[in-house]
Amino acid sequence: MNIEQGITARRENDKKVEAQKWFQQLIQPENLVGDMYSINYETARVIIHDTHRHNVGGIPSLSFLIASRIDLNNADIDYKSEDASFILLRVMDSAALPQDKEAERIRVETAQRISGETDKNWDDAGSMDLRTKNLLSFAGVECRIIGTFFLEENPDNSEAPLNLKFGSDISNYYPNRGLKVYKPNGNALEKIVNYSENSQGKTVKLGKVRYASTNRKHQNIDNVNVFIYPADLLSQKSALFGMTRTRKSNTTKQYSKKYSQKYGKLVYQPFE
């Protein structure tokens, strides 16, 4: 092997190492929640067991999930392959499973048997056998497809040979091909919500994101910082949404004031 071939081989190996690092940052095996069993260009359906739902601290409505076929233990990840990516999903609602009607019948019959007994629940071991309880613990979740995260070569930076990229759709799908689905932890969620491809300049901390209005501190998701690039507000349409009395106007005034003091410009003046 000559010197040129050796350098090329080293670069390719660096890209494989970098690809594995990226996916290990964004996907954690212990945050597995289920399997995708149905997909099209707009939506995806995921089957989730109550045990996994409990292990990750719950799956709130409108929260993010990520779906991928990546094997995190594989040190030979080809970043150019179709599988070297993950689909970003947003939880929308429950999804019906074929056995739901039968499952509901069993639950009703079991609840009827223990009706009036305050010391028993219909899912207790003495009320329902373990095999039945396990089968009835599966449920479907309907998700909207937000887009695809993937990796591309970064020729301008030898220390970081790959860049994380995002596309607001999916380029392809296979209806008979399963994907594992995970709930992102705090570090992964921060990378996802703060992703920006072409932004320049310094960031300004906007606030924090959490999975649900019912904010349980032990889930360790309530301290995920969200940043914006003020310069982006000049060239792109921006909006601030929230329910009545959630301090939208005050938030806009404060950040407009902070930006004008720091950069000498007033980006946006809200209507009084």
pLDDT, tens digit, 9 for 90 and up, residues 39-80 = 999 999 999 999 999 998 889 888 899 999 988 888 788 888
If asked whether residues 84 and 188 sit together in one domain, one would say: yes
Phi, psi of 137, rounded to the nearest 5 degrees: -85, -5
| The domain boundary residue, chosen from 155, 178, 195 | 195
Question: How many Cα atoms within 13 Å fall on the side-chain side of residue 140?
Answer: 14
If asked whether residues 92 and 45 sit together in one domain, one would say: yes
Q: Tell me which residue range forms the domain holding 175.
A: 3-98+135-195
If asked whether residues 246 and 148 sit together in one domain, one would say: no
If asked whether residues 183 and 244 sit together in one domain, one would say: no
Q: How confident is the model over 217-244, as pLDDT tens digits? A: 665 566 788 887 777 766 666 777 777 8
Across the range 242-254, mean pLDDT stands at 77
108 within some domain: no
pLDDT computed for residue 268 by the predictor: 46
If asked whether residues 142 and 248 sit together in one domain, one would say: no
Domain count of the chain?
2
> CB neighbours (10 Å) of residue 133?
17
- Encoding tokens for residue 207? 């606030």
Per the CB < 8 A criterion, the answer to whether 208 and 224 are in contact is yes
Whole-model pTM: value is 0.80
Q: Could you tell me which residues are beta bridge partners of residue 46?
A: 36, 141
